[in-house]
């Protein structure tokens, strides 16, 4: 929301997708410059220098992510609460170039990031299951063909591509955590297509995320069981089809299920 003022354009606030308006004296954008200057602001409100710089900007590569629950002994394989990067060679720039140029393949991703959340916060390890977050750099071209598909209506071909990328990521993580794939009890993959689609309504990961600290996807796209930052609203407000739990219950449930566990929904 921008108005023309005597000293130039002035931001008034933001208008949400449901029509609500949130006004403030100062508005800070958490989106990247391309989204902020190219989509959120009207063109007349963007300074000419910012428009030129945005057009010339060469964007960084994207990433594939995996959120994993596994009954592995993370400490025994040498992991700790720190963040771990793995490159396929000492040539960092070369690893980035290969990551941008290799959309698919059988070899490990040239650049990996791994963090064990349950070693940072011991309360995130229910029933001996470690929670891990992993990322691999991948070029935008891997999922560009599905950019315009709406959330909840993704085509089978997109799901096949995401699964292929995810399986390659799991295989790559075996170089850091031997036996991880066989001991994985839960995994959810996300591509940068989803990240771009949700750019305007993104939220930081953690307990205050709209889906809390855990998401358990069902076989119906867009539906699942998840945590919530507002446990007092569980059972009191409507949902779009998901099952909301308090964060501690969502984590406990995560430790009890595996991929393929049957789910029966009764009225």
Distance between first and last Cα of the chain? 43
Task: Annotate 102-149 with three-state secondary structure.
Answer: CCCCCCCCCEEEEEEHHHHCHHHCHHHCEEEEEEEEECHHHCHHHCCC
Residues 86 and 195 in one domain: yes
The domain boundary residue, chosen from 202, 236, 251: 202
In a domain, 99, yes or no: yes
Residues 69 and 179 in one domain: yes
Residues 23 and 127 in one domain: no
The predicted structure's pLDDT at residue 109 = 83
The predicted structure's pLDDT at residue 267 = 65
The number of distinct structural domains making up the chain is 2
Residues 31 and 92 in one domain: no
Residues 51 and 68 in one domain: no
The predicted structure's pLDDT at residue 105 = 63
CA pair distance 59, 67, nearest whole angstrom: 25
Residue reference for tokens 């790559």: 172
Residue 199 pLDDT > 70, yes or no? no
126 or 75: whose pLDDT is higher? Answer: 75
The domain boundary residue, chosen from 202, 221, 243: 202
The predicted structure's pLDDT at residue 14 = 86
Residues 99 and 26 in one domain: no
In a domain, 228, yes or no: no
Residues 21 and 114 in one domain: no
Residues 49 and 70 in one domain: no
Residues 93 and 177 in one domain: yes
Residues 91 and 182 in one domain: yes
In which domain, by residue range, is 31 found? 15-56
In a domain, 154, yes or no: yes
**What average pLDDT does the segment 163-182 reach?**
87
The predicted structure's pLDDT at residue 196 = 40
The predicted structure's pLDDT at residue 43 = 85
Residues 25 and 105 in one domain: no
The predicted structure's pLDDT at residue 152 = 64
pLDDT in tens, 67-104: 888 888 888 888 888 888 888 788 888 877 777 776 55
Confidence of residue 53 (pLDDT cuts 50, 70, 90): confident
| Least confident range of 49-53, 75-79, 222-226 | 222-226
222 φψ region: left (φ > 0), alpha (ψ -120 to 50), beta (else): left
Confidence of residue 241 (pLDDT cuts 50, 70, 90): low
């Amino acid at each position: 929301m921008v108005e023309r003022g005597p000293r130039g354009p002035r931001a008034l606030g933001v208008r949400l997708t449901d029509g609500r308006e949130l006004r403030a004296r100062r508005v800070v954008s958490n989106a990247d410059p391309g989204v902020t200057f190219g989509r959120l602001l009207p063109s007349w409100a963007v300074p000419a220098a910012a428009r030129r710089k945005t057009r010339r900007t060469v964007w960084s590569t994207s990433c594939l992510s995996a959120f994993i629950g596994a009954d592995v002994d993370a400490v025994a394989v040498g992991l700790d609460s720190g963040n771990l990067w793995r490159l396929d060679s000492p040539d960092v720039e070369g690893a980035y170039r290969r990551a941008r140029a290799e959309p698919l393949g059988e070899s490990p991703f040239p650049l990996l990031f791994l963090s064990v959340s349950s070693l940072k916060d011991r309360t995130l390890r229910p029933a001996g299951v470690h929670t891990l977050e992993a990322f691999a750099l991948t070029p935008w071209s891997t999922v560009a063909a599905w950019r315009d598909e709406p959330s909840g209506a993704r085509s089978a071909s997109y799901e096949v591509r995401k699964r292929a990328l995810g399986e390659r990521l799991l295989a790559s993580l075996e170089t850091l955590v031997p036996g991880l794939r066989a001991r994985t009890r839960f995994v959810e993959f996300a591509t940068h297509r989803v990240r771009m689609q949700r750019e305007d309504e993104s939220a930081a990961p953690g307990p205050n995320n709209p889906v809390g600290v855990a998401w358990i996807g069902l076989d119906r796209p867009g539906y699942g069981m998840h945590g919530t930052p507002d446990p007092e609203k569980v059972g009191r407000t409507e949902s779009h089809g998901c099952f909301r739990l308090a964060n501690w219950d969502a984590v406990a449930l995560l430790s009890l299920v595996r991929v393929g566990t049957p789910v029966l929904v009764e009225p």
